[in-house]
C-alpha cells in the first residue's frame, strides 16, 4: 500500500460527493452567475463558480506536484500561487459559463487522474519538498492533502449547502 492511498481514497470519495450532487446542479440550471467571483467575496459563489473552481484547481494542483517531483537538487522547488492569482480567477470566470455536465465530467476525469497519481507515489516521492509562496515548505503529501483532498471535501459541503438553500 502506497503512502498516499488513504488520501487518494478520500479524494475519490470527495469527487464522488460532487458527482452525486451533479443531478441537482444540472436540474437547477441555468444558475445565476455571481457578480463577484474573485477573492473579494468568495462566499457569494454559486454552483457554476464552485464547479469551475474545482475543474481548474485539480489539474493545477497535480501539475504543481509534478513540478516538485521533477525538480532537481536538494532545495525545495518553488510551486503554487495565491488565491488572487489572475489566471486562476480568469479561468473560473471563463469556465463558470460552461454547462454543468461538462464541468462535472472534467472534475470526474481530473479527480480520477489525481487519485491515480497519488496512489502511484513512493514514500520518497511523497516526501519531496516544494516552496509555496505563502505557506512555505510543503511536501508533496501535504500539497495533495491541503490543495486536493481537504479542499474538495470542503467544496462538497459548500455545494450541498448552496443546493439545500435553493431548495428551501
* Record: fold of 5-163: 1.20.120
pLDDT by residue (tens digit) across 137-159? 999 999 999 999 999 999 999 99
What ranges do the domains of the chain cover?
5-163
Phi-psi region for residue 32, left (φ > 0), alpha (ψ -120 to 50) or beta? beta
Q: Is the distance from CB of 129 to CB of 77 less than 8 angstroms?
A: yes
Specify the DSSP element, H or E, that contains 137: strand 136-139
pLDDT at 41: 59
pLDDT at 35: 87
Q: What is the pTM of this model?
A: 0.94
> For a pLDDT cut of 90, what percent of the chain falls above it?
87
pLDDT at 43: 55
Q: Which residues in the chain land under pLDDT 50?
A: none
Report the chain's mean pLDDT, rounded to a whole number: 94
pLDDT at 166: 86
pLDDT at 56: 97
Q: Is the distance from CB of 16 to CB of 112 less than 8 angstroms?
A: no
pLDDT at 167: 77
Give which of 151, 129, 150, 154 is closest to 139, Cα–Cα. 129
Amino acid at each position: 500500500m502506497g503512502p498516499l492511498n488513504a488520501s487518494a481514497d478520500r479524494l475519490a470519495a470527495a469527487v464522488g460527493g460532487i458527482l452525486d450532487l451533479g443531478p441537482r446542479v444540472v436540474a437547477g440550471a441555468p444558475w445565476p452567475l455571481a457578480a463577484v467571483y474573485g477573492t473579494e467575496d468568495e462566499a457569494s459563489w454559486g454552483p457554476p463558480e464552485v464547479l469551475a473552481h474545482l475543474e481548474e484547481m485539480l489539474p493545477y494542483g497535480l501539475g504543481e506536484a509534478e513540478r516538485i517531483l521533477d525538480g532537481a537538487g536538494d532545495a525545495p522547488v518553488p510551486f503554487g500561487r495565491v488565491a488572487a492569482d489572475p489566471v486562476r480567477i480568469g479561468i473560473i470566470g471563463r469556465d463558470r459559463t460552461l454547462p454543468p455536465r461538462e464541468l462535472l465530467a472534467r472534475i470526474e476525469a481530473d479527480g480520477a487522474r489525481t487519485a491515480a497519481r497519488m496512489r502511484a507515489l513512493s514514500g520518497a516521492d511523497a516526501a519531496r519538498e516544494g516552496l509555496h509562496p505563502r505557506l512555505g515548505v510543503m511536501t508533496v503529501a501535504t500539497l495533495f492533502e491541503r490543495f486536493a483532498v481537504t479542499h474538495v471535501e470542503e467544496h462538497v459541503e459548500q455545494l450541498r449547502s448552496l443546493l439545500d438553500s435553493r431548495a428551501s
